[in-house]
Amino acid sequence: MKTVAILAPMQQELDAVLNAFETQTLIFERYGTKFVLALSGVGRANTAMNTALIIKEHNPDEIINVGSAGGLQPEQKILDIVIPKEVVAVDVDLTALGYEYGQILGGPKSYSTDAKICAELIEASKGCSYNTHTGTVGSTEAFICREEQVLEIGRRFNNRVVCVEMEAFSVAVVCEKFKIPFAVIRSLSDVPAKGEGNENDFNEFLCHASKNAAQLLHTLYKNRKAQS
């Protein structure tokens, strides 16, 4: 039986996954799959530590990072879904040493999510009421809420970053080290690209965005079982 680890940064995001699977148990079997749910914690340090602990304890076959994010494209709307194919750290700058923006010492220019899981997620999102975006997710330790932050990320990464959050980069780094396929699901709780004040949207729409992301996650594995 395949083991899948689901990592959510915040309690609201984890609760949404539990509700989507109609369980209050962090470890359970459903759709011919063993699921291990856990809080990653907010930020890169917490996420790296807890991702590694989950891998050591449960040896998952794949890892899904699920939660909310801020949209960086003006056409995006709150509660849209992002299924990124690439992960970068938007606040890393080692360009003086000859590296690309977002590239850490000894690391690749960016990290790729698993193509097969992404394709399944895109298929699972068809027919839903929200818009779905692909592209690049950018991790940062800062809450992005000012115009100059949005413009700087766009300049550094040629406007290819479609949303920002705080954990996906750590999941990517750890999964690459342990050779574990991973994917990221993010629903937009706010869209800083449309102007300041999105911190209010974040507080209002966090739970709704978490629910959207969790429902897509549930659909992914329900579809897998139906197709097996």
Q: Return the active site residues.
A: 13, 190
C-alpha closest to that of 47 among 10, 97, 86: 10
What string of DSSP letters covers the chain? -EEEEEEESSHHHHHHHHHHTT---SEEEETTEEEEEEE--SSHHHHHHHHHHHHHHH--SEEEEEEEEEE-STT--TT-EE--SEEEETT---GGGTPPTTPPTTS-S-EEPPHHHHHHHHHHTTT-SS-EE-SEEEE-SS---SHHHHHHHHHHTTT-EEEEESSHHHHHHHHHHHT--EEEEEEEEE-GGG-S-HHHHHHHHHHHHHHHHHHHHHHHHHHHHHH-
